[in-house]
Chains A and B, each alone.
Chain A
Amino acid sequence: MKLLVCISKAPDTTSKIAFANGNTSFDEAGVTFIVNPYDEWYALVRALELKEAQGGSVTVISVGGSDYEQIIRKALAIGADDAVRIDAPETDALSVAKHIADYAKEQGFDLILTGKETINYNGSIVPGMLAELLSFPYVTLASKLHVNGNVATCEREIAGGVEVLEVTLPAVISAAKGMAEQRIPNMKGIMSARTKPLQVITPVAFAANTSVQNFEMPPAKSACKFIAPEQAADLIQLLHTEAKVI
């Protein structure tokens, strides 16, 4: 099975979020970047498990500048066979999806896995666009994935339970929590990642349809009102009369 995993770069989940250039860009000073958790923990690891069980190859792809190479090496250290970096700015979801689709359309991938969303932009848009551009079916937010021949069976969490979905490959599937367990790269993986192929493609630019005008921080919370534990019952009245939520 020929698998492609789309990985994006995200600030470490404990990063302090601040903005620069008159609040028009994310302030990267002192921030450590990681592979977007959904892409790494779930999509990439599940792709590796499928390859280990059924044979084939796992390619990772990113759209971004040379600062992406550190997270690409991490994905190679975890076990991907090779990597592609499309050397273009991540202008918006459409341009990212078009770059990936342009590369993927010639390659005959059976399955394209992505994360359910990036933890910085929270779009949940790129995989659906990719599916549309490639005319593939798309399973959103799969928490389990099994492949049998050319049929993928997925589970998706719904209110109060799960639904089981079936789709014929090739397909795009976005990964949510549950699809796999995080893997920590070992020394051998880290060493071999240095020599695995990383192809850099310089693409033609695509026009974007959206652009971030500015960022702002959410309004600060007012201080917490403490209630003594022996007066806990008062809370219910406060929620009714003061907070007006019950």
Chain B
Amino acid sequence: MNILVFAENQNGKFPKSALEAVSFAAAWAKSVGGSCTAITHGQIDASVLGNYGCNRVLHLASLAAADGEQITALVIAAAEKSAANTIVLSHDTTGKSAAPRIAVRWNAGIVSGATAIPHGTTVKKNVFSGKAIAHVNITSEKQVVTVLPNAYGVHATGAPCAVEAFEVSVPAARVVVKEVKLESAEGIPLPEADKVVSAGRGMKGPENWGIIEELAKELGAATACSRPVSDIGWRPHHEHVGQTGIAIRPNLYIAVGISGAIQHLAGVNGSQVIVVINKDPEAPFFKAADYGIVGDAFEVVPQLIAAAKAFNATK
């Protein structure tokens, strides 16, 4: 079984989700004795992809930012060139726009959001917004699998490898990026963060977020919030996690003044370790927590900041 994996170039950088997709594809190919080829595009040092275990890298340097149809054309051409019968992408925005097209054009079965290396033709994925797991069989000869961000992780098991220039003509983009508006260029993007400090309505008002940001900064964490908090405009929308916001799977999720409604949990219950700080001992979030502090956020969080500062000083 030969695998082709797509690694997205985001402004000259491989995002964590791309490196996870390559790590996943390389380990999968290895487990079945196949080869793994990566395809990427644009101005970037593509040889580093070898670090994540692929055997070969194809590179279309002339194609900068690309829409889903362009990536579809690029990926299918590269799969044919590398005699792959399996295509892997990340289940990120780019993967979501290209993978379904690839599956139709290739007449391949597709499973999106895989969380583990498949066994045979069975792929494991989260369903019901993380409340259950499904094992899905792909019955077609060719297959497309997308990898859930923050589930498999980045595994640097290889070494830089040779990059082959790859040429293919792709159609013009029909979805055109007109403008990029960044609210904050600094800080860690939430979907990629290993650690997240999140707060809810228990914080009483946006003026009290200083301690949340400070704790996040000391821990090297991104900040997030519950839905009502972004709905009332205390925090930007892109921080909203949960069933209707974004789903995250950090190693550490600290929830301050969040009750733990089932719709909130749906976006965070994949986190490895959950810490809950809430003044109500009956808050449902404690049932999903690994560590809990029943107390007032305005007293507890400053102590955590001081302890984190002391901890950082000993590192």
Residues of B within 8 A of A232 (CB): 293, 295, 299-300, 303-304, 307
A245 interface residue (CB < 8 Å to B): yes
Q: Closest Cβ of chain A: how far from B280's Cβ, in Å? A: 13
What CA separation (Å) do A102 and B287 show in the bound complex?
47
> Is A111 in the interface zone, CB < 8 Å from B?
no
| Closest Cβ neighbor of B142 among chain A residues | A209
When A128-B101, A210-B138, A211-B139 are in contact, do A137 and B287 touch as well, CB less than 8 Å? no
Residues of chain B in range 141-181 having any CB-CB distance to chain A below 8 Å: 174-181
Residue A143 is within 8 A (CB to CB) of chain B in the complex = yes
Q: Is B62 an interface residue (CB 8 A)?
A: no
Binds A, one of B45-53, B77-85, B237-245: B237-245
A224 touches B287 (CB 8 A): yes
Chain B: interface secondary structure? mixed
A157:B295 contact, CB within 8 angstroms: no
The verdict on A13 contacting B311 (CB below 8 Å), with A129-B104, A132-B101, A229-B300 known, is: no
Among residues of A, the one whose C-beta sits closest to the C-beta of B193 is: A159
Residues of B within 8 A of A126 (CB): 100
> B175 to chain A: which residues have CB within 8 Å?
137-139, 165-167
Chain B residues with CB under 8 Å of A161's CB are 180-184, 238
Option from A11, A128, A243 in Cβ contact (under 8 Å) with B291: A243
**Distance (Å) between the CB of B68 and the closest chain A CB?**
6
The answer to the question of B190 belonging to the interface, with a C-beta cut-off of 8 Å to chain A, is: yes
Interfacial residues of chain B within 300-314, with CB under 8 A of chain A in the complex:
300, 303-304, 306-308, 310-311
For residue B279, which residue of chain A has the nearest CB? A229
Q: Which of B128, B131, B181, B237 meets A178, CB within 8 Å? A: B237
Please report the C-alpha to C-alpha distance between residue A77 and residue B70 in the assembled complex, in whole angstroms: 40
Q: Is the CB of B291 within 8 A of A137?
A: no
CB distance from A135 to the nearest CB of B (A): 9
Which stretch, B19-27, B36-44, B91-99, B205-213, touches the partner chain A?
Answer: B91-99
User: What distance in Å separates the Cβ of A125 from its nearest Cβ neighbour in chain B?
Assistant: 5
In the assembly, what is the distance between CA of A182 and CA of B221, in Å? 32
Interface assignment of B289: CB less than 8 Å from any CB of chain A: yes
Which residues, 158 to 196 on A, are CB-close (under 8 Å) to B? 158-168, 177-178
B104 touches A138 (CB 8 A): no
Instruction: List residues 110-161 of chain A with CB under 8 A from any CB of chain B.
Output: 119-129, 131-133, 137-141, 143, 153, 156-161
A215 touches B96 (CB 8 A): no
Contacts of A122 in B (CB 8 A): 112-113, 125-129
Interface residues of B in 233-276 (CB under 8 A from A): 237-238, 240, 243-245, 251-252, 262-263, 266, 269, 272-273, 275-276
A238 vs B252: C-alpha distance in the bound complex, in angstroms?
A: 12
Judge whether B300 and A213 touch: CB under 8 Å.
no
Nearest chain B CB to A14 CB, angstrom units? 6
Which of A93, A120, A153, A236 is B304 in contact with, Cβ under 8 Å?
Answer: A236
Please tell me if A246 contacts chain B, counting CB pairs below 8 Å. yes
CA distance A13 to B128 in the complex (A): 9
- Point out residues on B near A: beta carbons under 8 Å: 67-69, 72, 91, 93, 96-101, 103-105, 107-113, 122, 125-140, 174-185, 187, 189-192, 195, 219, 237-238, 240, 243-245, 251-252, 262-263, 266, 269, 272-273, 275-276, 286-296, 299-300, 303-304, 306-308, 310-311
List 7 interface pairs A-B (beta carbons < 8 Å), by A numbering. A124-B112, A125-B96, A164-B179, A225-B292, A229-B300, A232-B307, A237-B311
Q: Which 8 A-B pairs have the closest CB atoms?
A: A128-B100, A229-B295, A159-B189, A209-B109, A233-B307, A137-B174, A161-B182, A236-B307
